[in-house]
Amino acid sequence: MIMKPKLSDHFLGKSPSAIRLAQIEFGKRTDRVEAVNVAIGNVSLPMHPVMQNRMRLLSLSESPFREGVVRYTVSVGTEEANRAVLNIIGSSRFETDGLFSQITDGGSSAMELVILGVCGPAGSGERPLLVFEPVYTNYIEMAQRVGRRVVSVVRRLDGAGRFRLPEVSKIETVIEKEKPGAMLVIPYDNPSGAYYSQEELNTLARLCVKHNLWLVGDEAYRELHYEGDREKVKGESSRNKPASVWGIGESKVPGITGRRISVESASKVWNACGLRIGALVTDNKKFHEQAVAEYTTNLCPNAIGQYIFGALADEGTDELQEWYEQQREYYRALMTETAEEIRQALPKAVVSSPDAAIYLVVDVKDVVDKNFEMGKFVLWCAREGKVKMGEKWMTLLVAPMRGFYGSGSDVGRTQMRIACVESSEKMELVAELLGKLLREYLG
C-alpha cells in the first residue's frame, strides 16, 4: 500500500474565511441563479482619476513598464508610493513629520507584519493581541497563521443599533489578566460600521501608555464617517477632521509617541481592492526598520500596483478632500437607504447604525427561533436558496458574524454582515431578497 503525504494540522483545521465562504459555495452551483454578493467588501466604484490615468498609461512612453519589464522594487516600497501614503494621512490634517511608511501587499500583509512585530508566541513571554469584538476576521486568521493568540473585549449590539465600547474598567481588567502586547482599534469599524470618536481613541491610548502596549489603528476606511462626534477642523466649519491614531498627541496622552502604528489600504477609500496595495505606518523607527527586515522575505510589494497608487503622491489636500466628500456622500446615502429598507422588510430585526465604513450588521434574533444558526442560513442561500425577483431567480450572499467573534462567543449566532459595495441598482434588491429568502428558509 502506497502511503499518501499528510497535510499539516494547520491546513487540516482550516475553513474558508466567513467573508469568502458564501462566494466559494455559490461558485459550485450549476443552476443559473443570479447572486447579489454583499458578503465581501469588494468595492465596485472606479478608482481615483489619477490612479485610473496611471493604469491607462502603463504601456506608454512615460511608464517605467513601457518595455514590458517588471522588476522587484525595494522591500520598503517605492519612494513615490510611500510619499502617497504620507500625503493621504496629511490630507486628513494630521502631522506626518516623524512617521515611517512601508508599502505592503494589501492591508492584510500589514496586519500579519504588525502581529509578528508586537505580539509574542504562546509560552513564556506570550503577548497576545487585544481586540474589540466583533473584529475584522482577518486579524483572527492572521494571528492563528503566525502562532499568536487574540484576546478580546466583546461589544454587544444594542436595540438602537450601536456597538458601544464597554467601560474602561472592564477593558483594563482584561489587560491586567491577559497582558497583551498591543491593542487593536478600527476607528471606522469593520464589521460593525461603528465610529470611534477622537476622545474615545484618546481614552484607549491612555490605557496603552499606562500598561505599556502598542496602539494599532486599522485606518483602511479613514474619512468614511457619517455620524457621531467629530472634531471640527479649526476655521473650516464645513469639514470634519476624522478620528485617528495620528490625532492622538502628547498634550492629551503623554507617552503615546513611539507606540503608534496604523494599517493603511488602497482598497476602500481609493476603490482599488484588487490592486493589493497597503502600508504599515509608525512613529517608531526601530519597529519600522525591523518590519522592513521581516518583509525582505516577501522580496517586495506589487510593483505595478505601487506605480498606480503612487499617482496620489502629488495630489493636493483640497483635491483629496473633495474626493473624500464624494465617497462619503455616496456611501452615506447607500448605507442609510439600505438600513432603512431592511428595517421595513424585517421590522423585528436590529440593524446597526450606519456611522462609518461600508458595513451593516443585521441581527434577526427576534425574527427566528432559538435554534436558528446564521451560518446555516448563509450556506443554504449560497448552495440552494433562490427566490423570484421579476423574471429572474436570485439569491443573496452575506457573511455570518460568528466568524468575527474569535472568542467563540455565541453573540454572533443570529447576526450577519452586509457590505454596501454592489451597484446602487443591486443594493436596492438586498432588503427584499433578505426578507424573501429568510421566510423561505424558515418555512
186-218 residues labelled b (16+ CB within 10 A) or e (exposed): bbbbbbbbbbbebebbbbbbbbbbeeebbbbbb
Q: At the topology level of CATH, where does 49-321 sit? A: Aspartate Aminotransferase; domain 2 (3.40.640)
User: Tell me, what's the pLDDT at 234?
Assistant: 43
CA separation for the pair 236, 229 (Å, rounded) = 16
CA separation for the pair 300, 104 (Å, rounded) = 8
CA-nearest of 378, 440, 388 to 37 is 378
Averaged pLDDT for residues 417-425: 96
How do the domains of the chain map onto residue ranges? 9-46+323-442, 49-321
Asked if pLDDT for residue 422 goes beyond 50, the answer is: yes
Place of cell 429568510: 438
Averaged pLDDT for residues 4-24: 89
The three-class DSSP label of residue 232 is: strand
The partner residues of 34 in beta bridges, in order of sequence, read 394
Task: Give the CA-trace dihedral at 337, 339, 340, 341, to 10 degrees.
Answer: 80
CA separation for the pair 279, 265 (Å, rounded) = 6
pLDDT tens for each residue of 320-351? 999 999 999 999 999 999 999 999 999 999 99
* Beta carbons within 8 Å of 417's beta carbon, 6+ residues apart: 19, 39, 191, 359, 360, 361, 398, 399, 400, 401, 404
Asked if pLDDT for residue 443 goes beyond 90, the answer is: no
Averaged pLDDT for residues 124-133: 90
Q: Identity (one letter) of the amino acid at 233?
A: V
CA separation for the pair 189, 109 (Å, rounded) = 19
CA separation for the pair 279, 296 (Å, rounded) = 15
Answer positive or negative: Cα dihedral of 202, 271, 263, 58: negative
pLDDT tens for each residue of 87-107? 999 999 999 999 999 999 999
Averaged pLDDT for residues 368-373: 92
User: Tell me, what's the pLDDT at 229?
Assistant: 37
Asked if pLDDT for residue 442 goes beyond 80, the answer is: yes
CA separation for the pair 252, 244 (Å, rounded) = 14
385-403 residues labelled b (16+ CB within 10 A) or e (exposed): bbbeeeeeebbbbbbbbbb
CA-nearest of 442, 340, 426 to 42 is 426
415-419 and 399-400 strand pairing: antiparallel
pLDDT tens for each residue of 386-401? 999 999 999 999 999 9
User: Tell me, what's the pLDDT at 410?
Assistant: 82
Cell of 200: 474615545
In this prediction, what percent of the chain has a pLDDT beyond 70?
96
User: Tell me, what's the pLDDT at 241?
Assistant: 82
> Which band of pLDDT confidence, cut at 50, 70 and 90, is reported for residue 10?
confident
Averaged pLDDT for residues 411-434: 95
User: Tell me, what's the pLDDT at 36?
Assistant: 97
The mean-pLDDT minimum among 71-80, 140-149, 155-164, 238-247 falls in 238-247
User: Tell me, what's the pLDDT at 407?
Assistant: 67
User: Tell me, what's the pLDDT at 124?
Assistant: 67
pTM of the model: 0.92
User: Tell me, what's the pLDDT at 24?
Assistant: 94
> Which band of pLDDT confidence, cut at 50, 70 and 90, is reported for residue 126?
confident
Tell me how crowded residue 120 is: count the other CB atoms within 10 A of its CB: 17
Contact call for residues 152 and 132 (beta carbons, < 8 A): yes
CA-nearest of 415, 364, 429, 399 to 35 is 429
CA separation for the pair 141, 108 (Å, rounded) = 10
CA separation for the pair 245, 238 (Å, rounded) = 23
Q: Do 49-321 and 9-46+323-442 fall under one CATH topology?
A: no
CA-nearest of 284, 328, 255, 267 to 138 is 267
Both ends of the chain: CA-CA distance in Å? 50
Q: In CATH, which of 3.90.1150.10, 3.30.470.20, 3.90.1170.50, 3.40.50.970 is domain 9-46+323-442?
A: 3.90.1150.10
User: Tell me, what's the pLDDT at 238?
Assistant: 40
User: Tell me, what's the pLDDT at 230?
Assistant: 41
Summary mean pLDDT of the chain = 93
pLDDT tens for each residue of 226-284? 974 344 444 443 446 899 999 999 999 999 999 999 999 999 999 999 999 999 999 99
CA separation for the pair 29, 363 (Å, rounded) = 27
Tell me how crowded residue 311 is: count the other CB atoms within 10 A of its CB: 21
The three-class DSSP label of residue 37 is: strand
